[in-house]
Amino acid sequence: MKEQTEIGKIKEGRYIVIEDEPCRVVGIATSKPGKHGAAKARIDAVGIFDGVKRSIVSPVSAKTYVPVVERKSGQVLSIAGNMAQLMDMKDFTNFEVAIPEEKKGSIEVGKEYMYIESMGKKKFD
């Protein structure tokens, strides 16, 4: 799910959709308006799920999309290799999430963990 907003309203640390991927904004640089042109903003962002750095340059008054990023809680039902099966604690749906390298040994069956969901993708927080 995503919402529409203006480029000029986006701040560092917030989220933006670039190339159909939800990204966290790490830097914003704006230029002054010229004689015949509008002010432009350069936004540097890093993908939430893939970690790829992306950037866009656009007029400050242009519209863009902002993803709806939700932090949820889920209980680990089983672990198979580098995948964990989680059950959401609110609507009790089951799904699989890849276990990141830094959390490989710390995730246990039966415990609750936070995860991030945005635009149909999920990952451990």
77 and 115, same domain (yes or no) = yes
User: What mean pLDDT, rounded, does the chain reach?
Assistant: 90
Residue owning tokens 């919402």 = 3
Q: Is the pLDDT of residue 37 over 90?
A: no
Q: What is the DSSP letter of 107?
A: -
Q: How far apart are CA 49 and CA 69, in angstroms?
A: 12
Residue 61, sorted as left (phi over 0), alpha (psi -120 to 50) or beta, turns out to be alpha
Domain boundary among 67, 86, 109: 67
The span from the CA of 98 to the CA of 80, in Å, is: 10
- What is the percent of the chain with per-residue pLDDT over 70, rounded to a whole number? 100
Greatest Cα pair distance in the chain:
63
Could you tell me the residue range of the domain that residue 110 belongs to? 70-124
pLDDT digits (tens, 9 = 90+) for 70-114: 999 999 998 888 889 999 989 889 999 988 888 887 888 888 999
Tokens of 4: 């529409």
Instruction: Read off the CATH number of the domain in which 10 is found.
Output: 2.30.30.30
Positive or negative: CA dihedral 17, 21, 22, 26:
negative
Cross-strand partners of 72: 115
With 90 as the cut, is the pLDDT of residue 42 above it?
Answer: yes
47: which strand partners? Answer: 23
Total domains present in the chain: 2
